[in-house]
Amino acid sequence: MFHKSMNFVFFAVVLSAIPCLAEPPFQDLTYDAALKAAAKDEKIVVIDFYTTWCGPCKMLDKTTWKDKDVIAWFKDKAVGLKIDAEKEKALAKKFKINSYPTIILLKPDGNEIDRLTGYRDAEQFLADANAALSGKDSLSRAKTAAEESPTDFKARMTYGRELAQRGRNKEALKELLWCFDEGEKHNPSYSGVRISFLLGDIVRLGGNYPPALEALRERRKQNEKHVLAHFDKSSAAGKGKAAKKKKGAIGRFLEDVRSAESDELRERACDAVYISNNLGESDRAIGFYDKLRAIGEDAKPLRARMMFILFDTLADARRYKDIMADGGDPLEEIDQAIAMWNMEKTLYKKDKVRGKEMEAMRRGYTIQSIARNYEVLVGAGEFDDADKAAKKLLEFEKSAQSYSALIKCARRARSLELAEELAREAQRNLPEDERDKVITAEELAGDSDEEDSPDNRSPPTKNRLQCPGNRRQAAPINWRQTNEPSATATAAHPNL
């Protein structure tokens, strides 16, 4: 028995010493060894910098790197390496890797030929790589595209990104700010990209180039000032004699003007909050909202239109009653979220490459969004509706993920009692292999800064769940609430 155990240990040790073989087109070589191999064979080195959590990186593995033409190209022209940027930190720092995937093309002496960021299918990768070998790197190609189409959002944004990748920060900021200030006027379909990917790019640029952050804060300041000045002006005008409503063509013209002003106010107000959210300055977003609340009913329509952006910020601050006052009906929002999911999942089934991954991600967003609205209802003391919201979520998906989301949100709403009930219900209703995955109320004990304060949101006894599945959350999954792009936006702009 002793000898068998020793043999097993020896065999395991030997196996652990054998390196994990890289799959073509990549090789099991160190960086220095790859440069030597490239010099010997008169090839270049191609490094795919990835992370284990990066969705586009996984898509490269499933598609581009398995393509026979790509594998043949590597065999003829390149020594390929796959580098986990979070493990090989020194090498990632050497090449200033700040987004994933980043594909670096190198000469055998280590000098950079080009870098390609983001997902590319096989055809696009080969086109870009061959162009780089012919002397036209991604920066020069992006510059040409931007010059040939100066009002094209994607071309200008791509050029800005390429400049930022190379540390040409001032020029990069100029391109990215044009996209933010002017791009949507010429490219309306990029509105979602503008307030998500683009703002994220500018904030990341600001990490190395502070004028980028200053530019965003100045735009926020001007937008807030414009919105508040509008209500000051309206208030002053309202003190005079009310004007009679015009009829006919003049009346319709004035209505159009008022409608345009309303749209501009909404866009400016939303931009101000988007900027605060991306800068991580939630106090500023809440401060702006509070100024609009102080205006009263005149600003209520605007506050309502801003709520989809402010929802998470206000929920994080436990401003549940404000959300209820200015937002929509959480139960209707849940129904809309589920309807949106049912519509979008048909798109995922058509996408054989990314469909399953996108579906899982989107389902998770839907669950979390519904749970946040459950939190709002509990926090606002609307326990009957909270029960209905919980039931809707469990009907959508009865899983450890759904129960955990509900438990966490009940705990955040300072209702330890509801969190504990949900945990017990999960143990009763879930299959055995799912039960251990459910987070417990005790694990979240530090999440609430007030354990059992007078403000603790526990429903009165008569409102306690009468049936097991009758208390959960509510909230429509709105991609704008989660600050994530919608599936349709991602599908339309997969390389952003």
Catalytic residues: 54, 57
In one-letter notation, the amino acid at residue 189 is S
Written as six digits, the tokens of 20 are: 């994990």
Structure tokens at 190: 């990029």
Query: From CA 193, how far away is CA 17, in angstroms rounded?
Result: 46
Task: Give how far Cα 347 sits from Cα of 84, 121, 341, 476, Å.
Answer: 31, 19, 10, 19
Position 490, amino acid: T
Residue 302, number of CB atoms within 10 A of its CB: 21
- Run of H or E including 104: strand 102-106
- The half-sphere exposure of 234 on its side-chain side, counting CA atoms within 13 A, is 15
Distance CA 42, CA 38 (A): 6
Q: End-to-end CA distance of the chain, in Å?
A: 59
- Amino acid at residue number 365: Y
Which residues make Cβ contacts (< 8 Å) with residue 283, sequence separation at least 6? none
The 3-state DSSP class for residue 48 equals strand
Q: Is residue 167 classed as helix, strand or coil in its secondary structure?
A: coil
Contact 26, 78 (CB under 8 A): no
Query: What type of residue is 156?
Result: R
The beta strands (E) that lie in 316-469 are given as: none
- Indicate the SS3 state at residue 248: helix
Cβ-defined contacts of 435-441 (< 8 Å, 24+): 435/400, 437/400, 437/401, 437/404, 438/400, 438/403, 438/404, 438/407, 439/404, 439/407, 439/408, 440/407, 441/407, 441/411, 441/416
Cα 219 to Cα 248: distance, rounded to the nearest angstrom: 38
H/E segment holding residue 83: strand 78-84
C-beta separation of 345 from 399 below 8 A: no
Please state, in angstroms and rounded to a whole number, the distance separating the CA atoms of residues 318 and 324: 12
